[in-house]
């Protein structure tokens, strides 16, 4: 017996059983004793009706199983909510900074390592000589100085800038988070610490750049206007510039590039510098405390709004 036939027979048996059950229940309810003939007649009517309903339901199920209907029933693809991490102003600062820093590294490093073939290629073949390369270095320097001034004005003068600047100040939680992360890395705890808007790693990154800019701009300016300073000032300035320049280059190439390019979670690149957005899952994963605070505030706002609306209605 094939499966199709078996299913049909099973349904017949079910329907027969269900008809008997319905009629018996009806007899119990009305509490009379009908004849056998009457029972058979009523059972046949119920069976006929159940057969009809079962055929039309079978029809409906077949229609619903059609591929077109099935695709309509599929749950809609979940569109993830985005959260703004960096506003336009901050993103433009970052763009000017990385363009300037790339120019400064390309034109600065060959001066520190002039014996390298790559240095000769950049300065002579690519840029057409030392005169041009030092001129381009100064263009990059002006870019970096503009970013420095821009960022100070932004941090003092705008609401978001001030908020983020104060959130960047290291606190005791950062020390605890550092210990928590170390414990997690060596397998002493099951999960790492939960971070707020800025983790201790991001704060370290930010202040390293801040400090680096002060040193690079200060020492660069001394070299640029060396005639204004005593000779030993120039020597100290050049030493600082040269070593901090190498440190900055290595930290960008190793530390920063790992975080924003080579980390498997973001490879080949995190686009936050471009659109300034983080997805809901990224927020939950990287900044759970900030995420919880935003959701809590939004729910509170809704409650407050509905309270004031119901007051207005009364």
Interface with ligand HEM (CB under 6 A): 101, 104-105, 108-109, 111-112, 134, 137, 141, 144, 216-217, 220-221, 223-224, 238, 241-242, 245, 248-249
Minimum CB distance to ligand HEM smaller for 184 or for 204: 204
Minimum CB distance to ligand HEM smaller for 194 or for 226: 226
Minimum CB distance to ligand HEM smaller for 15 or for 97: 97
Q: How far is the CB of 148 from ligand HEM (least distance, A)?
A: 8
Q: How far is the CB of 131 from ligand HEM (least distance, A)?
A: 10
Q: How far is the CB of 181 from ligand HEM (least distance, A)?
A: 28
Minimum CB distance to ligand HEM smaller for 14 or for 207: 207
Minimum CB distance to ligand HEM smaller for 46 or for 144: 144
Q: How far is the CB of 236 from ligand HEM (least distance, A)?
A: 13
Minimum CB distance to ligand HEM smaller for 161 or for 237: 237
Q: How far is the CB of 235 from ligand HEM (least distance, A)?
A: 11
Q: How far is the CB of 104 from ligand HEM (least distance, A)?
A: 4
> What's the per-residue H, E or C state across the chain?
CCHHHHHHHHHHHHHHHHHHHHHHHHHHHHCCCCCHHHHHHHHHHHHHHHHHHHHHHHHHHHHHCCHHHHHHHCCCCCCCCEEECCCHHHHHHHHHHHHHHHHHHHHHHHHHCCCCHHHHHHHHHHCCCHHHHHHHHHHHHHHHHHHHHHHHHHHHHCHHHHHHHHHCCCCHHHHHHHHHHHHHHCCCCCCCCCCCCCCHHHHHHHHHHHHHHHHHHHHHHHHHCHHHCCHHHHHHHHHHHHHHHHHHHHHHHHHHHHHHHHCCCCCCCCCHHHHCEEEHHHHHHHCHHHHHHHHHHHHHHHHHHHHHHHHHHC
């Amino acid at each position: 017996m094939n499966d199709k036939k078996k299913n049909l027979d099973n349904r017949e048996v079910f329907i027969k059983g269900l008809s008997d059950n319905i009629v018996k229940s009806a007899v119990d309810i009305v509490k009379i004793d009908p004849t056998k003939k009457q029972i058979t007649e009523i059972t046949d009517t119920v069976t006929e009706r159940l057969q009809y309903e079962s055929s039309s339901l079978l029809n409906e199920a077949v229609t619903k199983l059609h591929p077109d209907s099935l695709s309509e029933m599929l749950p809609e693809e979940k569109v993830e909510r985005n959260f703004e991490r960096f506003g336009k102003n901050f993103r433009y600062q970052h763009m000017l900074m990385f363009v300037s820093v790339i120019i400064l590294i390309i034109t600065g490093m060959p001066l520190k390592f002039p014996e390298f073939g790559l240095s000769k290629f950049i300065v002579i073949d690519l840029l057409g000589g030392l005169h041009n390369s030092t001129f381009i270095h100064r263009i990059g320097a002006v870019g970096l100085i503009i970013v420095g001034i821009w960022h100070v004005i932004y941090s003092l003068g705008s609401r978001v800038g001030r908020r983020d600047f104060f959130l960047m100040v290291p606190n005791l939680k950062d020390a605890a988070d550092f210990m928590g992360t170390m414990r997690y890395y060596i397998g002493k705890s099951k999960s790492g610490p939960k971070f707020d808007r800025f983790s201790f790693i991001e704060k370290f990154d930010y202040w390293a750049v801040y400090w680096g800019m002060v040193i690079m701009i200060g020492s660069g300016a001394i070299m640029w206007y060396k005639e204004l300073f005593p000779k030993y000032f120039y020597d100290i300035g050049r030493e600082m510039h040269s070593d901090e320049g190498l440190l900055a280059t290595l930290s960008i190439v190793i530390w920063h590039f790992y975080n924003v390019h080579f980390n498997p979670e973001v490879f080949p690149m995190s686009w936050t510098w471009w659109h300034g957005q983080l997805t809901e899952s990224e927020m939950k994963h990287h900044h759970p405390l900030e995420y919880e605070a935003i959701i809590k505030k939004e729910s509170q706002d809704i409650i407050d709004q509905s309270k004031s609306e119901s007051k207005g209605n009364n």
